Structure 1
Amino acid sequence: MRKPSTPHPGAQSSPRSAFYCRCGGDEASQVQRRLERAFSRRDFLQSALVLAAGVGGLSPAASAQPAPSGSATAVAAPMVLRNVQLFDGRRTRLQPGLQVVIEGARIRAVEPQGQGAPRGAQIIDGGGRVLMPGLIDAHWHSLMAAMSMQHLLMADPALIHLAAGSEAQRTLLRGFTTVRDAGGPVFALKSAIDQGLVQGPRIFPSGAMISQTAGHGDFRFLHEVGPGAACSAVGHAEHLGASAIADSADSVRKATREQLLRGASQIKLMAGGGASSLYDPLDSVQFTLPELRAAVEAAEDWGTYVMAHVYLPKGMQRSIEAGIKVIEHGQLTDEATVRLMADKGIWWSLQPFLPEAAPTPMADPGSQAKSDEIATGTRRAYELAIKHKMQTGWGSDILFAPGKTHYQTVRLVALENWYSPLDALKQATSQNGELLALAGQRNPYLGAKLGVIEPDSWADLLVVDGDVSRSLKPLLEPDQHLKCIIKNGRVVKNTL
């Protein structure tokens, strides 16, 4: 590099040299972002086409069904589901004697069985089984669930996106027709699913998790931090789009707007420490009040909301004061903070982090100790949520668990520690649907309701072989007990 006569606006200066590095400059950064968007989308779609062609393909019974939901070329025939026990997502009882009529991507009618069917309709006889809405996971990580942390931080982005596409298919075949992605670069995956290139659930994307330096979303290695770091102090997780580090109200506002530009339906902030990160203490409070408010204001200007990762009362209270509408986790809170949440109408997105529902021990002893501490607070958190009649959503938050993502359903069944089976299913259907609707006009699936079986809701349904009013355990074996999966009015699987 040659020394310029005047400083470059984006130059990184060093007291040890008069030379500078252009890779941190504004022009280079803009070019890099354009290339990353172009190439990550191209690489993923190429990978997705390979996946759709047969890598990890559907079972013969599923692949023989109509085109994937979201396909612009296929027109779904009307459909009538009869001879079922209906769980509509709202009432905590099963209703016999009803049939459900689907036209296009929506439910047209829920009516007494025996009514006439539309001309040319496909009739599906449930054989007396349970018909219920598709499941909704309000805290899922589409890119991070099926890969180890090591692979996520080091692997080629194309491989990471391929793995996510394959896992999206498995997620749908477990009966989860919608997920709220709580952090990660899933915009291309969402588009591919919506266009019918790959099978998967509807995705409400958050984009990059916004974190302060040394926060829960700072995944840099120590050699990437400080004066001895490379000229660009952006780690692999930021390059990938999994996280965004911001350290001022203006930086947080900019990072929030960037995720909205990319298509985020809501914003994810790291407002406290966590178990899976190596450096930040669990009891740390992250982001100042002005920084939190900057994200809330930017999100509200776009008609949507902020969700905050946080476990302890101080961080939760600061988040609530800033105007954050959804608290993620909060297992180590106190009763006064729960009472504050209830008074202000804050949503509590809880996960049953119990030892028996953990897919794998953490490799780092410090992280495992933090995880154990969170698990000890889980039971009390649910007890407080019930006592104060909180608006509660359910999520699984499976992370870095290759080969064990089926624990998504294990954590759903774990709700039976506090709720009846149908009350638990209500959380994972209609209540989660209401939570996701906080996205307002940023809701990528506007026009119909999610998580319910009623006229003018999205036609996302499951036929389950097993009495889920007595136990949710049949859902643990989807290959055997999920007889029919319908998403967006199209049959994904039908073994009836």
Structure 2
Amino acid sequence: MIRVGKKYQRLIHGSGCACHSPQMGDVTQALTAFNRRGFLAGLTATAAAMGVPGPVLAQASGRPGRMLFRQLRLFDGKTDSLRDSAQVLIEGNRIASVDFAGEAPPADAKIIDCGGRVMTPGLIDAHWHTLFAALPLQALLTADAGYIYLAATVESRNTLLRGFTTVRDLGGPVFPFKQAIDDGFVVGPRIYPSGPMITTTGGHGDMRALSDLPRIPGGPLSAVERTGGAAIADNIGEVQLRVREQLLQGASQLKLVAGGGVSSPRSPLDMTTFSEAELRAAVDVARDWNTYVAAHAYAPRTIKRAIAAGAACIEHAHLMDEEAAQLMAAKGVWLSIQPFLSEADVPPMAGPSREKALEVIAATPRAYELARKHGLKTAFGSDLLFSAALTPRQGKMLTHLTRWHSNADILKMATSTNAELLALSGERNPYPGKLGVIEAGAYADLLIVDGNPLENIDLIATPEKSLALIMKDGAVVKNALPA
């Protein structure tokens, strides 16, 4: 049986809990058999133990043939204002039409009256960690894989109920979890997976115990690597191997750790990990697969090296200087940055990690100012980690951007702009349709908001109250509209 402490019982216990039933005992046995590569098989066994047939395990209210949303005000993801008297027709998992002339609905369409509420595209988080968001770091390093996946299943549903219908996962063994969502076994957002972050010995993400050192090239993998938390590479050949391994498993883009990080206590923020040649080797393999490399980098020198090697996107960059910002602008490199404004935006930390977090928080305003000054292509990501109490701030993080952007620009960033970044994955794009917009042919990922987020962006921070309806891939996952 999986034993869950009182602190985390609320992650899996709800009303009408059947944890002590014979069926749940069978479920628990199935969960204990989970491992990183056997996730789908274990989940299917869990469904069978519960008597649930196949992919209907996670279906919310189903996907009708046609659905017409009428009497709504439309934010299409690209413009600065709302359009009134709109109606949107959904067929399957796509938007069939957007109409402002009040055309008669198809005879077989289910009609949903929005009562003048606002429709927006589903939100996109460009820097998320599906498996690492809700559990403390120590639990992730020590817990059974079944428990980690179970907690992630709960958090994945919560992510979707916050209005985030798509995430770009920037590190973790998320491939089978993504497949479980796509196949309908788990409720959650679309996932653009990177797989384990690729780092060097001593780089951010190298969470090995010191007893695992020295590393023997070609020797057995450490526990962190076996579970898919990180992939360690210390020369060009190893970099190429690790990149190809992630692409083989279905990575839509690659995450390389070019410098130090906050949560890894032994990796200083000022350090630079991979050489330019090693980074370029990763970029070359990614290009051969028609996708791109996102480089984790905080310090100016690290940012410049990653850009010189051909990285298409810089993650974080909070410590960048004027020269680094100018170089990003000149090369058209994307900035994927997180608005960390206080310790409330980061998990509880101590020692070197807390000191580094405070340094990043202090540098955040200048980084956003440089991004605006130089017109950088800027994506929104939250990068919330290691805390079930912190993840509900996902929408709150988006509202922090009012210090530098209008409400309309904030919503565009979290929808159509983030979708442009996702599209860099080219042929490796797992969802090649249009995302982040409401227009004919786009995926039917949308929100119905009680109130006008263009006037009050704080509505995004209270999704349990403000989001009257959530649709992902043409299926309604929440509907609190009046009958």
Provide the TM-score with structure 2 as the length reference: 0.88
SS in 2 for 1:191: helix
Structure 1 residue 366 corresponds to structure 2 residue 352? yes
SS in 2 for 1:110: strand
Q: Partner letter of residue 345 of structure 1?
A: G
Distance 1:356 1:221, change over 3 A: closer
| 1:487 counterpart residue number | 472
| 1:239 counterpart residue number | 226
- Residue in structure 2 matching 1:384, options 343, 357, 370: 370
Distance 1:223 1:390, change over 3 A: same
Q: Show the 5 A alignment for 1:389-400.
A: 389-400=375-386
- Provide, for residues 109-159 of structure 1, a one-character-per-residue CA deviation record: whole Å limited to 9, x for no partner: 111141121221111111111100000000000000011100111111111
- Residue in structure 1 matching 2:61, options 53, 66, 71: 66
Displacement of 1:226 in angstroms is 2.0
SS in 2 for 1:66: coil
Separation of aligned partners in 1, 2:413 and 2:153: 26
| 1:254 counterpart residue number | 241
Displacement of 1:402 in angstroms is 2.3
| 1:355 counterpart residue number | 342
- Provide, for residues 287-311 of structure 1, a one-character-per-residue CA deviation record: whole Å limited to 9, x for no partner: 0111101110111100000001000
Separation of aligned partners in 2, 1:243 and 1:46: 28
Flag structure 2 segments of 5+ consecutive residues without an equivalent. Answer: 1-33
Q: Would you say the 8 A contact 2:314–2:336 is kept in 1?
A: yes
- Residue in structure 1 matching 2:83, options 95, 105, 109: 95
Structure 1 residue 403 corresponds to structure 2 residue 389? yes
Q: Partner letter of residue 41 of structure 2?
A: R
| 2:206 counterpart residue number | 218
Distance 1:232 1:152, change over 3 A: farther
* Higher-Rg member (1/2): 1
Aligned CA RMSD, in angstroms, stands at: 2.2
- Provide, for residues 190-247 of structure 1, a one-character-per-residue CA deviation record: whole Å limited to 9, x for no partner: 11111111110000000010000000021101112128x9x96633221111210000
Q: Show the 5 A alignment for 1:306-455.
A: 306-355=293-342, 357-362=344-349, 364-446=350-432, 448-455=433-440
Displacement of 1:348 in angstroms is 0.4
- Residue in structure 2 matching 1:202, options 171, 190, 198: 190
Displacement of 1:40 in angstroms is 4.1
Distance 1:144 1:48, change over 3 A: farther
Distance 1:424 1:375, change over 3 A: same
Displacement of 1:404 in angstroms is 2.4
- Residue in structure 1 matching 2:153, options 151, 160, 165: 165
Displacement of 1:376 in angstroms is 1.0
Q: State, as a whole percentage, how many aligned pairs show the same letter.
A: 50
Q: Would you say the 8 A contact 1:204–1:264 is kept in 2?
A: yes
Separation of aligned partners in 1, 2:255 and 2:203: 13
Q: Would you say the 8 A contact 1:45–1:192 is kept in 2?
A: no
SS in 1 for 2:399: helix
SS in 2 for 1:339: helix
Q: Would you say the 8 A contact 2:124–2:167 is kept in 1?
A: yes
Distance 1:104 1:41, change over 3 A: closer
Distance 1:86 1:192, change over 3 A: same
Separation of aligned partners in 2, 1:157 and 1:352: 31
- Provide, for residues 404-462 of structure 1, a one-character-per-residue CA deviation record: whole Å limited to 9, x for no partner: 2111111111111211112111100000000000000100011x210000111111000
Separation of aligned partners in 1, 2:132 and 2:346: 14
Displacement of 1:334 in angstroms is 0.5
Separation of aligned partners in 1, 2:365 and 2:390: 23
- Residue in structure 1 matching 2:456, options 455, 463, 471: 471
Distance 1:235 1:427, change over 3 A: same
- Residue in structure 2 matching 1:458, options 443, 446, 450: 443
Q: Would you say the 8 A contact 2:448–2:468 is kept in 1?
A: yes
- Residue in structure 2 matching 1:297, options 284, 288, 295: 284
Q: Would you say the 8 A contact 2:347–2:385 is kept in 1?
A: no
- Provide, for residues 39-59 of structure 1, a one-character-per-residue CA deviation record: whole Å limited to 9, x for no partner: 344335545778997xxx99x
Displacement of 1:38 in angstroms is 4.3
| 1:189 counterpart residue number | 177
Separation of aligned partners in 1, 2:44 and 2:96: 34
